[in-house]
Amino acid sequence: EPEVTQTPSHQVTQMGQEVILRCVPISNHLYFYWYRQILGQKVEFLVSFYNNEISEKSEIFDDQFSVERPDGSNFTLKIRSTKLEDSAMYFCASAGVAEAFFGQGTRLTVV
């Protein structure tokens, strides 16, 4: 069964460093998303991406964040200068017509 894959599964980074979280969406999907979940809190929407551009973003998705689809298969989330409060699970999702499928997440720890 096709699935969304995310790498790495866990990343530890120092405050102020840049991180890139990687995702391989399901191959024939057209919509791509990033969500995050701070420990013990709700899953929060960050950004959606369609037709090679951002279609929607939340107030969390400020200038420190960017997304890219550098080739036909990868979808990345970059955080330019990480803060302690960026520590969270980051989930990538992709959708075709309706159902959205999520990856297993990247646990980002900023120290």
Partner 1 sequence: SQQGEEDPQALSIQEGENATMNCSYKTSINNLQWYRQNSGRGLVHLILIRSNEREKHSGRLRVTLDTSKKSSSLLITASRAADTASYFCTHSWGGSEKLVFGKGTKLTVNP
Residues that bind partner 1 (CB under 8 A): 31, 33, 35, 42-45, 48, 50, 55-56, 58, 89, 91, 93, 95, 98-105, 107
Minimum separation from the CB atom of position 58 to partner 1 (A): 8
For the chain, strand residue ranges (E) read 5-7, 10-13, 19-24, 31-37, 43-50, 53-57, 65-68, 75-79, 88-95, 100-102, 106-110
Q: In angstroms, what is the minimal distance from the CB of 70 to partner 1?
A: 22
Secondary structure (3-state) at 49: strand
84 or 97: whose CB is closer to partner 1?
97
Q: Which is nearer to partner 1, 45 or 76 (CB)?
A: 45
Antiparallel, parallel or unpaired: β 53-57 and 5-7: unpaired
* CB of 90 vs partner 1, minimal distance in Å: 11
